[in-house]
Structure 1
């Protein structure tokens, strides 16, 4: 057995399990409720998109991200919804839209960008990289650090 494949945490009595770490981020909602909320939000976003209200569609898509365990389908649906909205913006409008977002919304957007970049076969990486570049210009490197150190993920 290679030393790189040995799970040394199995020998540590004080090691935290993933369930212990993530349990503090549970919303108290059942996975079914989270999925239902995500589907409702996706419908709201699509309605706003049909009206041509891209800014409010993005803001609505970034509301209440599905954190926690056992909500992978809700996380996938949320990521899909956000990336669909991002694809509709013109490159010249991106910086202005990002400036209109709060710091918390910018951090959530960065989480979705990383979630999308983690699945290049599903999402357009060039669009996501453009958004990442503009978001980093506006929000700074602190946004990246906050997202990387946050245990609440959207992917």
Structure 2
């Protein structure tokens, strides 16, 4: 029975670690969290002005990725979800069209992250699925493929 306690991955040269799959965020984890908090404040003020595309552009710019930045990732997810919740379904198409291809791909990552949360977090499934439908119409299925193959997770 002692053989079951051996960590065979320690002896396997072919095991890939998360840090080897993609470059980690070059910023310090405290800097990443500080940036996420500043972006959240900027998004709130932009949303107060009614500029949803601008708010989403701010939230999707220089997102946190890699290990050791989980708090910043969660804060950014909450920020993006607040934008999605405050957008009327009739405006989604124009908002998505205003985003660059990179921002569209990043938005798709956050949609999948929200869908993967137990109980969908603090957003309803219909909101995420509505955004997913409109984003796929505008960005095409290539957006989904790029998100699924990108190693930088949000």
Tell me: CA distance 1:30–1:49, structure 2 relative to 1, closer, same or farther (3 Å): same
1:40-98 CA distance string (max 9 Å, x none): 00000001111222221111111111012100010000000011001111111111111
The answer on whether the counterparts of 2:53 and 2:99 sit within 8 Å (CA) in structure 1 is: no
TM-score, with normalisation over the residues of structure 2?
0.88
TM-score, with normalisation over the residues of structure 1?
0.88
The answer on whether the counterparts of 1:117 and 1:123 sit within 8 Å (CA) in structure 2 is: no
Unaligned runs of 5+ in 1: 2-6
Kindly report the root-mean-square deviation, in angstroms, between the aligned alpha carbons of the 2 structures.
Answer: 1.9
Give me the whole-angstrom Cα distance separating, in 1, the residues matched to 2:39 and 2:102: 18
1:65 pairs with one of 41, 63, 66: 63
Pairing of 1:23-62 with structure 2 (within 5 A): 24-27=23-26, 29-62=27-60
The answer on whether the counterparts of 2:63 and 2:76 sit within 8 Å (CA) in structure 1 is: yes
1:116-144 CA distance string (max 9 Å, x none): 11121332211011000010111111100
Range 80-89 or range 10-19, more displaced: 10-19
The answer on whether the counterparts of 2:85 and 2:123 sit within 8 Å (CA) in structure 1 is: no
Unaligned runs of 5+ in 2: 2-6
Q: 1:4 is matched with which residue?
A: none
Matched residue SS, 1:59 = helix
The answer on whether the counterparts of 2:115 and 2:125 sit within 8 Å (CA) in structure 1 is: yes
Give me the whole-angstrom Cα distance separating, in 2, the residues matched to 1:96 and 1:20: 38
